């Protein structure tokens, strides 16, 4: 049974040195062998510590009337925001998860969304309802971006390509900071099969950086032997998993690992950060030996085609026509294809 590694990433934030080479090797091994790891040794940890996380998840304590203002348009027709915002408990078949999403506009000016709704502005709670929420979310977002950048730089070094290969793609990127709340599944009005389900999937994008809150258990990942392993929920670590798109982009060298949240009989909070490039990023085969060719496509087209299959965005595909010819890049690949 393969265990998922825990890596000290502090050398990634320094100049090139022997310790960074060691960290690079450990990260590359994790990316290419398990597709999952935890990391520690993070700078500026105060921006993502327990106090910061508690401020963010206070959003789930808002009264129902103030929550509805944040709901996405497909759940509250009177609201204008469609891509960013809140998806309520009834958005999914299990009736056990709700979430709220913010984008890069909380930290910088972003392009006009009239040309691409993926740049749609975030809808934020009133600062008077959750004092400090806006600044905490912005600092958290920036820290996650910095972690994502150095991890992809490290992967590039491991692949033997220019270490800044991915950097330009993230200028005007559309990363998502998501807050999640899971309720206990004891008395949910759903089938026993759904109550037992993990909602197993692989992430559809490039890189996910996940923080758990209050030491909440439940996250599991499947190892190469098919065994489900518990991922430790430690406050001083972050959980990293690599998405299906990064696996495709690297010709399968990076592994995308199936994972999910097993049913637990307690409330659970987590904060995933989906590190995503800008919509017009052209995804095409990297200059790697033996790389299998595939038809290039734009990241935004892939993201929208994929995310509109999820319960929180289901049925919205026609709201954003593709910007270029697009075919599902996973049609000819084998392995798990249930994305989230």
Tell whether 284 is covered by a domain.
yes
Q: Is residue 112 part of a domain?
A: yes
Please, what is the average pLDDT of the chain? 89
CB 221, CB 138: distance < 8 Å: no
Q: What are phi and psi of 200, to 5 degrees?
A: -60, 140
Q: At what angle do helices 133-159 and 50-57 cross, to 10 degrees?
A: 120
Q: Is residue 336 part of a domain?
A: no
Hey, is 8 helix, strand or coil?
strand
User: Does 221 fall in a domain?
Assistant: yes
325 within a domain of the structure (yes/no) = no
For position 216, what pLDDT does the model report? 77
In this prediction, the residues of the chain whose per-residue pLDDT falls under 50 are 1, 195, 334-337, 339
Judge whether 135 lies within some domain: yes
Domain encompassing residue 63: 6-319
Decide if 334 is inside a domain. no
Element (H, E) at 283: strand 282-283
Q: Quick one: pLDDT at residue 111?
A: 94
pLDDT (tens digit per residue) in 258-293? 888 877 778 889 999 999 999 999 999 999 998 888
How many domains are there within the chain?
1
Specify the CATH number for the domain of residue 123: 2.60.120.330
List pLDDT tens digits, range 160-205. 999 888 988 999 999 999 999 988 866 566 566 554 556 777 888 8
Please give the model's pTM, rounded to 2 decimal places: 0.92
| Phi-psi map region of 206: left, alpha, beta (phi>0 left; psi -120 to 50 alpha) | alpha
User: Which pLDDT score is estimated for 339?
Assistant: 47
Which pLDDT value is given to residue 190? 59
Token digits of residue 225: 């032997």
In this prediction, residue 196 carries a pLDDT of: 54
- The answer to whether position 28 is within a domain reads yes
Q: What are the b/e assignments for 289-314, b being 16+ CB within 10 Å?
A: eeeeebeebbbbbbbbbbbbebebbe
């Amino acid at each position: 049974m393969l265990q998922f590694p825990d890596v000290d990433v502090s050398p990634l934030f320094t100049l090139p040195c022997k310790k960074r080479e060691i960290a690079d090797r450990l990260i590359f091994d994790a990316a290419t062998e398990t597709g999952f790891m935890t990391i520690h040794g993070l700078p500026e940890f105060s921006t993502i510590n327990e106090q910061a996380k508690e401020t963010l998840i206070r959003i789930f304590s808002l009264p129902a009337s103030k929550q509805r203002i944040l709901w996405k348009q497909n759940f509250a027709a009177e609201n204008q925001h469609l891509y960013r915002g809140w998806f309520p408990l009834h958005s999914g078949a299990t009736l056990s998860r709700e979430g709220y999403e913010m984008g890069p506009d909380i930290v910088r000016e972003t392009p006009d969304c009239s040309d691409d709704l993926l740049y749609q502005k975030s809808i934020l709670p009133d600062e008077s309802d959750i004092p400090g929420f806006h600044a905490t979310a912005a600092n958290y977002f920036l820290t996650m971006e910095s972690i994502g950048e150095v991890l992809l730089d490290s992967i590039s070094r491991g692949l033997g390509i220019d270490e800044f290969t991915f950097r330009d793609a993230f200028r005007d990127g559309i990363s998502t900071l998501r807050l999640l709340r899971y309720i206990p599944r004891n008395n949910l009005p759903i089938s026993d099969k759904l109550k037992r389900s993990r909602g197993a999937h692989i992430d559809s994008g490039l890189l996910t950086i996940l923080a758990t809150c209050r030491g909440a258990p439940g996250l599991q990942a499947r190892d190469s032997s098919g065994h489900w392993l518990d991922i430790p929920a430690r406050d001083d670590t972050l959980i990293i998993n690599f998405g299906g798109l990064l696996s495709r982009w690297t010709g399968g060298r990076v592994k995308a690992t199936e994972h999910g949240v097993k049913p637990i009989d307690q409330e659970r909070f987590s904060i995933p950060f989906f590190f995503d490039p800008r919509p017009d990023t052209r995804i095409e085969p990297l200059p790697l030996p033996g790389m299998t060719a595939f038809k290039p496509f734009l990241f935004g087209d892939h993201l929208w085609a994929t995310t509109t299959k999820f319960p929180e965005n289901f049925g919205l595909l026609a709201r954003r026509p593709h910007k270029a010819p697009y075919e599902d890049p996973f049609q000819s690949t084998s392995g798990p294809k249930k994305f989230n």
